[in-house]
Chains A and B, each alone.
Chain A
Amino acid sequence: MHHLLPVLVAVPLLGATVLVACGQRLPRVVAETLGCAFAAGTAGLAIVLLLNASPPLTEWVGGWTPVGGESVGIVLVGVGPGLGMAAVASLLTVAALAYSWHYFDDAPRRHAGSFPALMLLFQGGMCGFAIAGDLFDAFVFFELMSVVAYALTGHRVEEAKAVQGALSFGVLNSLGAYAVLMGIGLLYARTGELTLVKIGQGLDRHGGPDALTLTAFALVLTGLLVKAAAVPFHFWLPDAHAVAPTPVCMLLSGVMVELGAYGVWRIYRTVFSGLAVIPASDLERALVVLSVLTAVVGAVMCWYQRHVKRLLAYSTVAHMGLFLIGIGSLSPEADDGVALYILGHAGVKTALFACTGVLLDRYGSVDEHALHGRARRLRGVAVLYVVSTLSLAGLPPFGIGLGKAVLEESVGGPLTVLFVAVSAVTAGAVLRVATRVFFGLGTQPGDGSSYETTGIREEPETRHRLSRVPDTMTAVPAVLLVASLAVGAVPGFAAAVGHAMSGGAAPSLHWTRGRLLLGLTSTLLALGLATLAVTRSKPLGEPSWMAPLRRLQSGHIGDYVAWMLVGTTLLAARALPGILNG
C-alpha cells in the first residue's frame, strides 16, 4: 500500500501535464471532464490510503532507503491527519471543478485546459505538502501550492482588483516561505538531518533550547502562520479571497489556509516537542496569544464588512484563530476537536462561497447594501445560505458544532466564552447578509465608511450574467452542506476521525447535553445579533475605534511586510523568557 503514496502527488501532476499539452486541441467539455476525472481519481486514492493508514505508511521515493540509519532520499509519510488533509483537499478540488463546470468564464486565449490544469497542480501541491515527510520537500510543495494559488487568484488578468490581490498574496506568502527555508537551513546546520522525525531526535540529543533553535523555530513558524493567516500575518487573506474566482476561493478558504495550521501542528509535534527543545508552555503562550488576537480581529472585521466575499474571508480568519487556539492548547482532545472542526468548516465555508458566487454571477455584485432584497427569487440558494450560516454558528448536529463543542470543553474557562462569541459574531454577520439580500428585511443601509472596499460593479465570472442558475452551481453547495452535516450527525464518523488522528480509540467524540447546549447558545446568539443588526442599525453601527483597525488593512504590500516582521519578532520574544530561565 505504501508504494501508492507518491501516486497521490503524481496523478494530479500528470493530469495537469496532459491538459496543458492537449488543452488547445480539446473541446471544453472533454478538458473539464478530464480534469474532474483526475481530481476524483486522486480523491479516491487519498481515501483508500486513509483507510489503510494504521500502521503509518512510509515510502522512500525511488528506493533510496536508509543505509545504516543514514539517508539522503525523499520520504513520504502517510498518517491519518496528513492523508485526511489530502483527502479533504482532493474532494474540495472535485467540488470546485464541478462548480465551475461549463459555466465559468472562458480561459484566456481559448485554452480550455488551463484552468483545470492549474486546479490539478494546486491539488498536487496540497497533497504533497500533507504527506511530505521531510522539511525541505514540505517547503517545495508549500511553494508549489502557493505559486499555483497566486496564478489562480489572478486568473482573471483583466480585473484590476484581482491582479493586485494576487500580488499581495504572492509577496507575503513567498516571503513567509523563504523564512521557513532559513529556519530549515538552521535546523539542518544543527542536526545534519532533513526528515522531520530525525531532526526532532537530533534536537533532543543536543539538549536544551538555545538561540539557534529558537530562531529556527520562530522562522519556520512565521512561514506557516502566514499561510494560516494568523494576526499579524493575515493581511493578504481578505485581499486575495475578495478577488479570486469563486471556485478558487472555495479551495483557499476551505483547505489551503487550514494546511498552514496543519503544518504548525505537524512540525511542532514531530520536530520541536522533544525534551525541552521548545517547552510546551512557551509554544502555548506564543500561539494562544496570537490566536486569540486572530479570532477577535477576524470577528470584528467580519462584522463591519459589506463586501460579502471579504466578509467570508474575515470569518475564515476568525475561525483560523479558533483552530490555532486548539492546536496551541496541545491536548489530544483538542486535536480531535480541531480535526472535526476543520472538516465541518471546509464543507460549510465552501458552500457559502459557492452561494456567493451565484449572487455575483446573477447580479454582478457582491455588495450587501447594493444587493438588498434583490435575490428574493433565489429561494433554493437562500435556504442553502441560511442553513450554512446556522451551521457556521455551531448548530447541532453539524460537524462544526461537534468539533467546536469538543474544543470548547477541552480549552475551558474564558476561552470557551471567546469561542462562543467569535462563532456567534461571524455567523451573525453572514446571517445579516442573508436576511438583507435574500429576504429584503430591514431598511437599506446607507453608505458606510469611505475607506472600505465595496462589492458593487464586480464582473461576473461566467460568460454572461446568468439569467437562471445552473444546477451544478446549486448542487455543489448542497452536497457540501450534506457532507458537513454527516461529519457531525453520522454515528461513528467522529469516532473514526478521532481514531485517524491519534491511532487509538477516541473515547468521547459524540454529542452530549453540554455540547448540544454550547452549540445552541452560539446559534441563538448569532440569530439575535443578526436580528438586532437588521431591525436597528443604529446601536450596531460602526464605532469610531473601527477606523484605525480598518486603516491597518491598507492594501499596501510594504505595510503587510512590516507587520509580518513585527509578528516574527513577537513570536521569538514570547518564547524567549523560557530560554533565559531555562
Chain B
Amino acid sequence: MSVLPYLVAAWVFLVGCYGLATSRNLIHAVGCLAVCQSATYVLLLAVGYRDGGTAPVFSDLKPGSRPVVDPVVQALALTDVVVGATVTAVLLALVLQISKRHGTVDPDELSELRG
C-alpha cells in the first residue's frame, strides 16, 4: 500500500484551500470548495483499498474467494457526493443572487459587510 494516495488527498485539499483564499470570482470559489471535497473522496477510497482487491459485489463472486475493497468507505463516499451536490447547488444559487443584487461576483468588490 503506497503513501501516494494520501499525499494526493492532502495536496488536493490544500490546493482547493489556496484557490478559495485567492479567488477573484465567486463561481470559481464554489468550484474550489468542490475541489476540497474531492480530497475527501480520494482519502476515503484510499483508506478502503486492499491490494489485489476487487469491487465488493457478490453477484458473480464467491464470498471469501478473493479480497475485496472495503464497502463501508464506498458508502461513505457516495453519501459524501450527495452532500456535496446539495452544498454546491445552494451556494451557486446564492452566487447567482449575489450577481443580481451586487452586479459583480468578485469578492474584492463586495463591501456591504465589514467591521
Residues of A within 8 A of B (CB): 72, 136, 140, 143, 147, 150-151, 154, 157-161, 163-168, 170-171, 174-175, 178, 181-182, 185-186, 188-189, 194, 238-239, 242-243, 449, 451-453, 550-551, 553-559, 561-562, 565
Closest 10 CB pairs of A and B: A452-B115, A160-B101, A555-B113, A163-B97, A189-B47, A555-B114, A185-B43, A561-B20, A550-B115, A562-B21
For the complex with contacts A175-B33, A551-B114, 8 further pairs of A-B residues with Cβ separation under 8 Å are A143-B87, A178-B40, A182-B40, A452-B115, A453-B114, A553-B114, A555-B113, A561-B20
CB pair B22 A558 closer than 8 Å: yes
Docked complex Cα distance between A171 and B26 (Å): 10
Distance between A433 CB and nearest chain B CB, rounded to angstroms: 17
Q: Which of B9, B94, B101 contacts A182 (CB 8 A)?
A: B9
Docked complex Cα distance between A258 and B47 (Å): 32
* Closest B residue to A238 using CB positions: B113
A158-B40 in contact given A140-B79, A555-B112 (Cβ < 8 Å)? no
> B17 interface residue, CB < 8 Å from A?
yes
Distance between B70 CB and nearest chain A CB, rounded to angstroms: 8
Docked complex Cα distance between A161 and B83 (Å): 26
CB pair A557 B115 closer than 8 Å: no
* Closest A residue to B26 using CB positions: A167
CB pair A171 B115 closer than 8 Å: no
CB contact list, B22-80 vs A, under 8 A: 22-23, 26, 29-30, 33, 36-37, 39-40, 43-44, 47, 72-73, 76, 79-80
Q: Which of B47, B98, B112 contacts A453 (CB 8 A)?
A: B112
CB pair B72 A147 closer than 8 Å: no
CB pair A449 B115 closer than 8 Å: yes
* B114 proximity list for chain A (CB < 8 A): 451-453, 550-551, 553-555
CB pair B21 A154 closer than 8 Å: no
Q: Which of A166, A171, A550 contacts B33 (CB 8 A)?
A: A171
* B98 proximity list for chain A (CB < 8 A): 160, 163-164, 167
> B111 interface residue, CB < 8 Å from A?
yes
> B91 interface residue, CB < 8 Å from A?
yes
A72-B72 in contact given A555-B110, A558-B107, A562-B21 (Cβ < 8 Å)? yes
* B76 proximity list for chain A (CB < 8 A): 136, 185, 188
Q: Which of A171, A451, A555, A561 contacts B91 (CB 8 A)?
A: A171
Docked complex Cα distance between A559 and B9 (Å): 23
A150-B97 in contact given A171-B30, A175-B20, A565-B17 (Cβ < 8 Å)? no
Distance between A544 CB and nearest chain B CB, rounded to angstroms: 15
Residues of B within 8 A of A (CB): 9, 13, 17, 20-23, 26, 29-30, 33, 36-37, 39-40, 43-44, 47, 72-73, 76, 79-80, 83, 86-87, 90-91, 94-95, 97-98, 101-102, 107-108, 110-115
* A185 proximity list for chain B (CB < 8 A): 40, 43-44, 47, 73, 76
* Closest B residue to A137 using CB positions: B79
* A160 proximity list for chain B (CB < 8 A): 98, 101-102, 112
Q: Which of B29, B40, B83, B86 contacts A171 (CB 8 A)?
A: B29
Quick one: which of B33, B73, B113 has the most chain A CB within 10 A? B113
* B110 proximity list for chain A (CB < 8 A): 164, 555-556
Quick one: which of B29, B91, B111 has the most chain A CB within 10 A? B91
* B112 proximity list for chain A (CB < 8 A): 160-161, 164, 453, 555
* A188 proximity list for chain B (CB < 8 A): 47, 72-73, 76
Docked complex Cα distance between A238 and B26 (Å): 20
CB pair B107 A163 closer than 8 Å: no
CB pair B97 A171 closer than 8 Å: no
Q: Which of A167, A178, A551, A557 contacts B36 (CB 8 A)?
A: A178
Docked complex Cα distance between A163 and B90 (Å): 11
* A136 proximity list for chain B (CB < 8 A): 76, 79
* Closest B residue to A174 using CB positions: B87
Quick one: which of B21, B39, B80, B111 has the most chain A CB within 10 A? B21
CB pair A166 B79 closer than 8 Å: no
* B37 proximity list for chain A (CB < 8 A): 174, 178
Q: Which of A147, A451, A550 contacts B87 (CB 8 A)?
A: A147
CB pair B94 A167 closer than 8 Å: yes
A164-B113 in contact given A151-B90, A556-B107 (Cβ < 8 Å)? yes
* Closest B residue to A554 using CB positions: B114
